[in-house]
Amino acid sequence: MSHQEPRKIISIEREVLEKNDRMARMNREDYARRGIFVLNLVSSPGSGKTALLSRTLERLQGRLRAGVIVGDLATDNDAQRLRGFGAPVVQITTDGYCHLEANMVARAAEELGLDGLQLLIIENVGNLVCPSSHDLGENVRVALLSTPEGEDKPAKYPTLYKSSQVVVLTKMDLAEAVEFDRDAARRTIAEVTPDARVFELSSKTGLGMDAWIDYLVQSIVK
């Protein structure tokens, strides 16, 4: 015998990412209490996050105490590249996960040890889509754009660039060779994310690195 079950609508109105957002808030409060300035580096794979990070650690050595959390899909190659600059490095292998989440960062931070740190740099998984919806508790989200990727990336991936407070143009030493239109890139960034601070540099030649390092040092003094 079949009969119609009584059906009812239950109103929910909840954010799907509420758990991550809550965890990110806790991370942010913890970092603020300890006086740590936190960066979340996002970009597509191969745009130079690890190269920028290693040059950054090299220059910060002896100037301020930095720690690094690196997210990678499967290997610890990036973490290997970053060791040897006097900064603690913890690797999160996401096993195919396309982005980092706030709870992964909290666990990694515990492993890293936050005592005495002034700067925490989180290198997210190389991906232009997924990391944009996951707050990790950072102070500043830094989107990298390498010259070979082309100047219209910010218009193609507005979600990521609009959620970033800093944009770093990397591999500027290749700009001419890959016919990168710098003015068009600056214009696109200014239109898509007008409040973002923009840096242009080359980790390889050191061009523009001083301004970037000064920015980090000043952010910490604040």
Instruction: Name the residues that contact another protein, by CB under 8 A.
Output: 5-19, 97-99, 129-130, 132-133, 154-156, 158-160, 162, 191-195
Q: Select 23 or 51, whichever has its Cβ closest to another protein.
A: 23
Q: Select 59 or 162, whichever has its Cβ closest to another protein.
A: 162
On whether the CB atoms of residues 50 and 82 are closer than 8 A, the answer is yes
Measured between alpha carbons, how far is 87 from 19 in angstroms, rounded to an integer?
A: 30
Measured between alpha carbons, how far is 113 from 182 in angstroms, rounded to an integer?
A: 40
Assigned token pair, 156: 């193609």
Q: Select 17 or 114, whichever has its Cβ closest to another protein.
A: 17
Q: Select 130 or 140, whichever has its Cβ closest to another protein.
A: 130
Assigned token pair, 180: 């990168």
Q: Residue 18 Cβ, how far from another protein at the closest point, in Å?
A: 8
Q: Residue 216 Cβ, how far from another protein at the closest point, in Å?
A: 24
On whether the CB atoms of residues 93 and 73 are closer than 8 A, the answer is yes
Q: Residue 212 Cβ, how far from another protein at the closest point, in Å?
A: 23
> What is the number of alpha carbons within 13 Å of residue 95 lying toward its C-beta?
1
